[in-house]
Amino acid sequence: MFTNENIIRCRKKIKARLGIGILSLFVMLAVLGVVAFEAKNKMAAEKSMEEVYQALYEADRYDPVQVAYIDTQEEVVSFAGTDDEKELYDVVMDKDGFLYVLKLSGKQEKAINDSVAQTGSAHIRGVTSEFRNSDARRFLLEQMQEGYPEENITEENLDDITGYLQLNVKNINILSVMGSANGWYALALIVAFIVAVFLIPTSIFMLGKEKKLGMDEVKMLDEEMSAGASWMPTLEAYATENYVIGAGSGVVPCRYSDILMIYKEVHRYNGIKTSENIKVLDKRGNVIDIANISVNSFQRIKSDDINSELEYLGNRIREANENVYLGYNQQVLRDLQKRAKNGEFMQ
């Protein structure tokens, strides 16, 4: 392994990234465990919709996500939904005459009404959530006002009739209840998953670059970096007598005489600059990342440093290899790479 302090410092940064990725993985597993535990408890505490509402009205705070059921002797009737019937809003009356809102598919609606027609009743199970779809609420209000004009139903008292909740009809199992969990759990899972998936593989890949180097090569590069080499802190790379050695994204040595082209590649997301890569094309036709600079509010201030260090590196390479092409040109890159792949520069 390298003994150079800058290489060691960069290695520690990569290991820290790996540690954050692993921690995010544990966070993701912990959140999944909590959600699964809560889902099991909710399944065990299954209530009728009447009981859910009774608990809702008696509590100062309530959980809108509950496993619940409705026993009905009436067919369900849709009042809103999509044309393909993948998402419908229905009203249903339980055996005690209370009215509830269902969210279900056309297939589920048919199964419920078939059960009522064949057996005289249906047992409807699902997971509750707040009834907040503005279009569905408007359609329901219009139909309630038309069907019960004497009740003087308004938008303000609609919830007194149909309730604050809807029953999302679904097969009840641990996954379906977990899928209806609090949105903060979902956000935590998504963030932890993205961080883990991005940091763990990339960090392992970066650390693996150093492991691919032989002991003799490591010793030689260590000596190069200790013999009057220039450290470029923004690029996190060395310019030695014979090599450019990237360190920020893993140890990447490239001999000056092997370089055909060096250029900066800018990455953008929705038009916003996110990172800058310093790449070289070697005489084997390989494009190698020497440096990867993430762009943030602090590093934007360093844009002049990036350009000055890149200019310095280009001059160092040009001194040793006068045929190197400095800067990006798509056609030149393609031509050089094609010639390199044909072995022209290895002769």
* Nearest C-alpha neighbor of 68 from the set 86, 49, 51, 89: 49
The enclosing domain of 255 has a CATH number of 2.30.29
In terms of DSSP bridges, do strands 287-294 and 259-269 run parallel, antiparallel, or are they unpaired? unpaired
What is the per-residue pLDDT for 304?
63
Assess whether 217 and 206 both reside in one domain. no
Instruction: At 269, list the tokens.
Output: 């997301």
| Residues 68 and 104 grouped into a single domain | yes
**Of residues 150, 166, 129, 173, the one with CA closest to residue 39:** 173
Residue 57 domain-assigned (yes or no): no
Verify that 305 and 225 share a domain, yes or no. yes
Residue at 36 is within a domain? yes
User: What do you get for the CA distance between the two ends of the chain, in Å?
Assistant: 33
Domain boundary among 155, 171, 187: 171
- Residues 273 and 206 both lie in one domain: no
Between the alpha carbon of residue 233 and those of residues 9, 106, 230, 238, the distances in Å are 11, 62, 9, 9
Residues 224, 338, single domain; the answer is yes
* pLDDT tens, N- to C-terminus, the chain (347 residues): 889 999 999 999 999 999 999 999 999 999 889 888 888 888 888 899 999 888 888 877 778 888 999 999 999 999 999 999 999 999 999 988 888 999 999 999 999 999 999 999 999 999 999 898 889 989 988 888 888 788 788 877 777 777 789 999 998 888 878 877 777 788 888 899 999 999 999 999 999 999 999 999 999 999 999 888 999 988 899 999 999 999 998 999 999 999 999 998 887 777 777 778 899 999 999 999 998 877 654 444 455 677 788 889 999 999 998 889 999 899 999 999 999 998 888 76
Flag whether 266 is in a domain: yes
Q: What is the pLDDT of residue 38?
A: 84
Asked whether residue 79 falls in the same domain as residue 138, the answer is yes
pTM of the model: 0.72
Strand order across the 287-294 sheet: 287-294, 272-282, 259-269, 325-326
Query: 245 near 224, Cβ under 8 Å?
Result: yes
Residue 55 lies in a domain: no
Query: Cβ(105)–Cβ(88) under 8 Å?
Result: yes
Structural domain range at position 190: 1-46+174-210
- The total number of structural domains in the chain stands at 3
Kindly state whether residues 158 and 180 are assigned to the same domain: no
Q: In terms of domains, do 206 and 325 share one?
A: no
| 295 and 225 fall within a common domain | yes
- The residue among 151, 184, 210 that closes a domain is 210
Question: Is residue 237 a contact partner of residue 292, using CB atoms and an 8 Å limit?
Answer: no
Residue 83 inside a domain? The answer is: yes
Q: Answer whether residue 248 is part of any domain.
A: yes
Note whether 221 and 192 are same-domain residues.
no
Residue 19 and residue 70 share a domain: no
In a domain, 243, yes or no: yes
Q: Are residues 22 and 87 in the same domain?
A: no
- Residue 56 domain-assigned? no
